[in-house]
Amino acid sequence: MILPIYVYGQPVLRKVAEDITSDYPNIKELISNMFDTLFRAEGVGLAAPQIGLPIRVVVIDLDPMGEDYPKYKNFRKAYINAHIIETSEETVSMEEGCLSLPGIHENVTRAKKVLVRYLDENFEPHEEEADGYLARVMQHEFDHLDGHMFIDRMSPMRRQMDKGKLNAMLKGKAHCNYKVKTVKK
């Protein structure tokens, strides 16, 4: 089932998400719906707060990049109760966008490598080191779990330049080709 994506201004996007337990209702169905929503919106990552749930669940699907980057072929994972344990000192700047911030794309500096701890769909624990694009997507999505958005990492000048788009979103105007839930004024 395709779920609406919550757009900038929705309070859930600024809340710190809660860990869940294995008895969380319908978690496998939720993860499946999150992947369906992500696919429909043509994104690579989606965090539960972006669909209105303040829980620590993220899905990442890098398979569409598999033709250009073979290591991402068939890469499709869910991360439950995900936390970044360690980041490298080395950083990389790259343009990012966000399904909750349609129409905004800006350069963001992030750690080149991360070490993450999470549970998979079967609530089995994992520790994983990631680098490159996967590390970037993890940091972006895991930021959502801590109530942060990539605009928080932009320079004040760049954020000021995007103020008109942000204000439009606050007024319920979001232009994209997927279903959204905006703030009602």
Q: Do β-strands 5-6 and 180-181 pair in parallel, antiparallel, or remain unpaired?
A: parallel
141 is catalytic: yes
> Residue ranges of the alpha helices (H) in 99-131?
none
| Tokens, residue 16 | 């710190």
**Residues, the chain:** 185
Query: Could you give the CA distance from residue 40 to residue 145 in angstroms, rounded to a whole number?
Result: 22
- Whose tokens are 């337990």? That residue is 21
**Of residues 121, 127, 129, 141, which has the active-site annotation?**
141
In angstroms, rounded to a whole number, what is the distance separating the alpha carbons of residues 69 and 181? 33
What is the Cα 71 distance to its own chain's centre?
A: 20
Structural tokens at position 169 = 């979103």
Residues serving a catalytic function are 141
